[in-house]
Homo-oligomer: A and B are copies of this chain.
Amino acid sequence: MDKSLPDLAAAVAGIEDGMSVMIGGFGGSGAPIELIHALIGRFLATGHPRDLTVVNNNSGNGHVGLAAMIEHGMVAKLICSFPRSADPVVFTEQYLAGRIALELVPQGTLAERIRAGGAGIPAFYTPTSYGTDLAAGKPVAEFEGRHYVQERWLKADYALVKAETGDRLGNLTYRMAARNFGPLMCMAARKAIVQVARIVDPGGIDPEAVVTPGIFVQGVVEVADPAQEEALNRAGAAYPGAAA
């Protein structure tokens, strides 16, 4: 078994119009910039994929990564908890112009819905958002005198995730707080495609240190020296553009 993919173009080749795509990262940490840019590259060359539903904690920053995806008009709907950033102009303009739909989900509920999707739990109850506008229309229930909101699982056709080390079986480790949504999105997507700083042979990761077991991963592609969204933005980069 060898889940390694030859290049970024191959890694994103299966994503089609109208699909749902979970994209890892909290702000810039864990954002799979190279996978996203490969997808934008395909869109600019072919007009596809478009009308995507994207799941991410945020809505992009500046003009690279997810923000660039939104800027180029590939995203029909965003499911996220915090569509703000240091430079949120791309999402803000499209949202206020009605060109992108937003499903706002509390951050912990977003994480748990994605985990539930991966774990075969179609619905669960959480105290989060009870009595607020974000619970409007959702079933509620009382357990031991306290009120809870019923939330549904969240799955996706694809996940694009950034990890640190991956073996050919798809076992992954992450780097510090870049872990965030990666392990959950790998579980919840039909196909999880992961860019890693290095691919190693099976046995190259301590079995105790595996964070995402390979069963949750369908493809790994090596990006040896991945870009950091924060660094790109501080350099004023845009994609496509000279600086990225």
Contacts and interface: CB of A to CB of B under 8 A. Distances in A.
A143 B124 contact: no
Contacts of A126: 120-121
Interface in A166-192: 173-176
A106 interface: no
B141 A123 contact: yes
Contacts of A143: 122-123, 152
Question: How many A residues are at the interface, by size bracket?
Answer: 20 to 34
B124 A123 contact: yes
Interface string A124-142: 1111000000000000010
A127 B146 CA distance: 25
Contacts of A175: 208
Interface in A98-134: 112, 116, 119-127
Nearest to A127: B120
A201 interface: no
A174 B125 contact: no
Contact of A125 (B123, B144, B146, B207): B123
20 contacts: A112-B119, A112-B121, A120-B127, A121-B124, A121-B125, A122-B125, A122-B146, A123-B124, A123-B125, A123-B141, A123-B148, A124-B124, A124-B125, A143-B152, A173-B208, A174-B208, A176-B207, A208-B209, A208-B211, A209-B209
Given A120-B126, A123-B141, A208-B211, 10 more contacts: A121-B124, A121-B125, A122-B144, A123-B125, A124-B125, A143-B152, A173-B208, A175-B208, A206-B209, A209-B209
B122 A148 contact: yes
Contacts of A207: 176
